[in-house]
Amino acid sequence: MKKSFLFRLAVAVLILAVLIPAAVSAKTKVTFFWAIYDGLTEDFRASLESAFNKANPDIELQIVPVKWDEMQNKITTTLAGGMPPEISVVGTRWLLDYMATNSAAEVTPYVSKATLDNIAPGAMEAKINGKLMGIPVAAGARILAMNTELTTKIPATMEEMRAEAKRITKPGKVYGLFMPGKKHTETTDFCYYFYAAGGDYFATNADGSYGKSTVNSAAGVKALTFMADMALKDKIVEEGFTSLTRIEGHPVFYTGKIGYVMIGAWVESGMKAANATFKLKYAQIPPFAGRKQAGLIITDSIAFFSKAKGLKEAGKFIDFFYKDEWKGKFDQQIGFPPVTMSAAKAPFWQTPLYKTLGQAALTAKPWPLIEGWDEFNNIIWDACEKVFQGQATPKQALDEAAAKIDEARGL
C-alpha cells in the first residue's frame, strides 16, 4: 500500500513537473520594439514593462530598446525571418512599405475606441486610404527659436528674418541664422523654406494619388535660392555649414553665437545639456511674403505587424500605455507635445515653448506619405549640396532632382 502511494506520488510530481512549465509558457508573449528617444530613461522603460506584466499575469510583455538608426533594419530582418514583433515604433512613412508586403495590420481592431478618441485628430498621419495603420506615438511641429541676447524680433516673413539676421551678424563672432549644409537623415531645412514658399513635393492626381515631382516648382527654386543667397552671398549662417548636419550644428546655437534657429521640442533639453544660459524666445517659422503659414510636423507611429501572434494582447498594452499615468510621463521625457488630448491639459505643457508648438501644429504639414521617400530625400539633398558647393544653380539642381524622382517612380 505504501509502495502504491509512493508510486502515485511520484507520478503526480512528474505530471506537475510537466504541467507547471507548460502553464508558465501558456502566457501570450508580446514584443514591443521601443525606440530610444533622447531623454527617455531605462528606468521608465523597465517600470512600464513591469507594471503591465503585473497587471496582466496572462501576458508576458517584453519592451526591447532599439536605437533609431538601427530600427528600420531590425524590423526588416525580423519580417524576413517570419518573426516580427507584435508592435514597434516606426517612422510613419515606413508603413507604406509594410503595407505593400501585407506586413502591417490595421490598428482599429486591437486598440479601444476610448484610447483612439483621446488622440488629437491632427496627429493621425497614419490614416491611409481610410484605415488607421499606425497609432501616433510622437508628433512634433517645428518652430523658430531666437537667442534674446542677440535679437528679440519676431519676423512676420522670411524676408524680415533674413534682414534681421543680416543686422546682427558679425562675421567670425556672431551669425544671424543656423542652417545645416551636410546630408543627414531628413531635408528638414529645405522643407522649412519650401513649405514657407507654398510648395508641395508632388502634384496631386484627380484620384488623390501622388503625381509627378514638383520639387522644382517656382516654390522649390525660390526656397533653395533663398537658402543659398543667405549662406553664400549674405554669409549670415555659421561658418563651415556644408560640413555640419543638424545634430552636429545645433550645439553652435547653444553656445550663443547664432540668432535664429528652426528647431523642434528638444531645444530646451538641448540647451540644458549644453549648460547654455541665454534666454530663448519662440515664434512660428515665418512664411514668405504673400504666403500663408505652413510649417513642418513629423510624426512617429506604433505599427502592428500582421504575422505576429499576440496582436490582441498588444492592443491591451497600448490601452495601458496610453493612459496619462504612462504616456504623459513618456511625452515629458522625450519633450514632444502629447498626442493624447487629456495629457495635453497637464500644467507641464502650459509653457511658451509648448504653446508655440501647439500653435504650429495647427498649420503644419507632414512629409509626403509615399513609397520610396528615403530615396527621394537623398536626391533632394544631393541637389541642395550641389548648389551649396557652387556646382549648379537652384533651377538646374532641382530640375535634375525632379527628373530622377519621376524616373525612380516609373513616370
Nearest-CA neighbor of 63 among 36, 45, 41? Answer: 45
Residues in the chain, overall count: 411
Alpha-carbon gap, residue 312 to 129, rounded angstroms: 23
Query: Residue 167, Cβ neighbours under 10 Å: how many?
Result: 13
Please tell me the predicted confidence (pLDDT) of residue 208.
81
Q: Which fold has domain 2-140+298-358?
A: D-Maltodextrin-Binding Protein; domain 2 (3.40.190)
C-alpha cell at 80: 524576413
- Per CATH, the homologous superfamily of domain 143-295+372-408 is Periplasmic binding protein-like II (3.40.190.10)
**What pLDDT, on the 0 to 100 scale, is given for residue 334?**
85
**Confidence (pLDDT) at 29:** 96
pLDDT at position 21: 52
CA dihedral 264, 355, 117, 138 (to 10 degrees): 10
SS3 content of the chain, % helix, strand, coil (to 5): 45, 20, 35
CA 92 to chain centre: 8
Helices (H) then strands (E): counts for the chain: 15, 14
**Spans of all domains in the chain:** 2-140+298-358, 143-295+372-408
Q: Are 253 and 178 in contact (CB under 8 A)?
A: yes
- The confidence score (pLDDT) of residue 372 equals 86
262 in Cβ contact with 142 (< 8 Å): yes
210-215: long-range contacts, CB 8 A cutoff, minimum separation 24: 210/368, 210/370, 211/411, 212/402, 212/406, 212/411, 213/376, 213/401, 213/402, 213/405, 213/406, 214/402, 215/380, 215/383, 215/398, 215/401, 215/402, 215/405
Averages of pLDDT over each 10 residues, the chain, 411 residues:
42 46 71 90 96 97 92 94 96 90 96 94 83 92 96 98 98 95 88 97 90 98 98 95 86 95 89 92 97 91 96 98 96 87 90 90 86 91 96 98 97 93
Q: How many Cβ atoms sit within 10 Å of the Cβ of residue 3? A: 7
Q: How far is CA 345 from CA 119, 312, 341, in A?
A: 13, 30, 7
Angle at 74 between CA 71 and CA 80, to 5 degrees: 140
Alpha carbon dihedral 169, 174, 177, 180, in 10-degree steps, equals: 130
Compute the C-alpha angle 198/202/203, nearest 5°.
90
Q: Is 137 exposed, middle or buried (0-12, 13-18, 19+ CB in 10 A)?
A: buried
Q: DSSP of 152-190, one letter per residue? A: ----SSHHHHHHHHHHH-BTTTBEEE----S--S--HHH
Whole-structure pTM over 0.85, yes or no?
no
